[in-house]
Amino acid sequence: MTAFVKTMKLNHLSFPSANVAATAEFFERHLGFRVAETWDKSAILKRPGFDVVIDHVSDAVPQWPRNFHLGFELPNLAAVHELYARFKEEGVQMETDVFNNGRGSRFFCREPGGIMFEINTRSDASEAYRGTFDD
């Protein structure tokens, strides 16, 4: 691996959406992003370390592969349960309840544009997985 590849970092993710405003609002309200710029029905969202671009592509909700998702990690199980309860209360489309699969607790939900999110914590992962997280 070359030196410049070792220093490479995530710059941005780009997603299509039929409703850029609703998708951007979800990222801003629930995931701590801020809308930095909008143009031609598209938006750039900022978070420390990387950006998300939401592009309007059509008026139809994009069809994602069934298991495609973005994962965000919270510090502990209480935070996962707190966000789960808030999402349910605010009408976010929930795909699962909170569950633990050995690698930690998590739940899955979708934002209005169809992107699925995994919200997890590794704080309660079983001992067998703990050594696999710091590679």
Residue spans of the domains in the chain: they are 10-58, 64-135
Considering the domain 64-135 in this protein, what is its CATH number?
A: 3.10.180.10
Phi and psi based region of residue 105 (left: phi greater than 0; alpha: psi -120 to 50; beta: remaining): beta
Residue type, position 88, single letter: K
Tokens of 89: 């209360």
Task: Give me the mean pLDDT over the 17-43 stretch.
Answer: 91
Tens of pLDDT along 55-94? Answer: 988 878 888 888 899 999 999 999 999 999 999 999 999 9
Give, for 96, the enclosing helix (H) or strand (E).
none
CATH class name, domain 10-58: alpha beta
**Alpha helix stretches (DSSP H) within the chain:** 3-6, 20-31, 77-89, 127-130
Which residue reads 């001992």 in tokens? 127
**134 pLDDT tier (thresholds 50, 70, 90):** low
Tens of pLDDT along 81-129? Answer: 999 999 999 999 999 999 998 889 999 999 888 889 999 999 888 887 7
Q: How many whole angstroms separate alpha carbon 72 and alpha carbon 59?
A: 27
Q: Who has greater pLDDT, 88 or 39?
A: 88
